Structure 1
Amino acid sequence: MSTPTPRNNPDGSAPRAAYPHFERITTRWKDNDVYGHVNNVEYYSYFDTVINHYLITAGGLDIHRGKLMGLCAESSCRYYDSLVFPDAIDAGLRVAHLGASSVRYEIGLFREGRKTPAAEGWFVHVFVDRVTRRPSPPGGQLREALERLVTAYGAHA
């Protein structure tokens, strides 16, 4: 059973300090919907972007020919404020749980310069062998990169 992640902001969200890694993502014109804000499905794309960019650059994950691949097992998002084009987003990333072959990431999407997130979510990857599609533990550089993101704010840290 997981313990709740600490929340320090009045809206129940976690602060910037809860995230050890950040990537800058800029919204695109196409991200806005007819209501004038970024459509909810795009937030999941931002989650995917910050996670996979980190796995490739820090963890050495070869998304085209590597032995391992990460499959999304579940994800969720809580919205606190609207993002719009042309916002710059600071996407914060941390690891709440690192298992034998799975990892639960927590992501905070902060509008540039803001202390509270516009949205927070979580995303579970199960690493599998590319050929057999059976769970396979991430090792070496990838495991080390994931371990660097485990924080006191994580649900299982």
Structure 2
Amino acid sequence: MSEKARPTRREAYRHFTILPTRWGDNDVYGHVNNVVYYAFFDTAVNRHLIEQGVLDIANNKIVGLVIETKCTFFSSVAFPDTVHIGLKVIHLGNSSVRYEIALFRNESHEACAVGQFVHVYVERANNRSVPIPEAVRAVLESIAA
């Protein structure tokens, strides 16, 4: 039997993105809907790559495609909370990268959700796997655990 998942703490992450929740993020149960957590993950990863100058979403010939995601929920987030998104690389392969992403509600030091997100790098023209470009690899190595 596997050990029960536990929330991680802020200090475990190398990079943070801060996003406000929106009124429309809440569902009928009064908290941010689970699908929004995945949008937070996607936004944090891609924003970091764009800010580091290694992702041009319109023009890169080599792009990372998501092939796997998962999320473990520990506590709720609700509008008007601010989400602090911790990001680190936990595996860097030849053509793929696995990120660990944690969501922190407002100033909490314990994650309310922890997930993983895997990009496989491909040629945009044919979706064939290729090695991670060196400039991208350097950015990924800078946030590796």
TM-score for the superposition, normalised by structure 1: 0.87
Corresponding residue of 2:45 = 51
Which of residues 84, 89, 93 in structure 1 aligns to 2:83?
A: 89
Deviation per residue, 1:18-65 (Å, 9 max, x gap) = 100000011111100011100000000000000000111114211111
Q: Assess if the C-alpha contact under 8 Å between 1:59 and 1:144 holds in 2.
A: no
Deviation per residue, 1:87-108 (Å, 9 max, x gap) = 1011000000000110000000
Quote how far apart the aligned CAs of 1:66 are.
0.6
Q: How does 1:3-152 map to 2 (within 5 A)?
A: 12-151=6-145
Quote how far apart the aligned CAs of 1:68 are.
1.1
Specify the SS of the correspondent of 2:35. Answer: helix
AA aligned to 2:99 is: Y
Deviation per residue, 1:125-153 (Å, 9 max, x gap) = 101001121111222321110001111xx
Q: Whole-Å Cα distance in 2 between the matches of residues 87 and 29 of structure 1?
A: 10
5+ residue gaps, structure 2: none
CA-atom RMSD, angstroms?
1.3
Q: Assess if the C-alpha contact under 8 Å between 1:80 and 1:119 holds in 2.
A: yes
Specify the SS of the correspondent of 2:37. Answer: helix
Number of residue equivalences = 142
Q: Whole-Å Cα distance in 2 between the matches of residues 120 and 17 of structure 1?
A: 14
**Could you list the runs of 4 or more consecutive aligned residues of structure 1 that deviate by over 6 angstroms after TM superposition?**
none
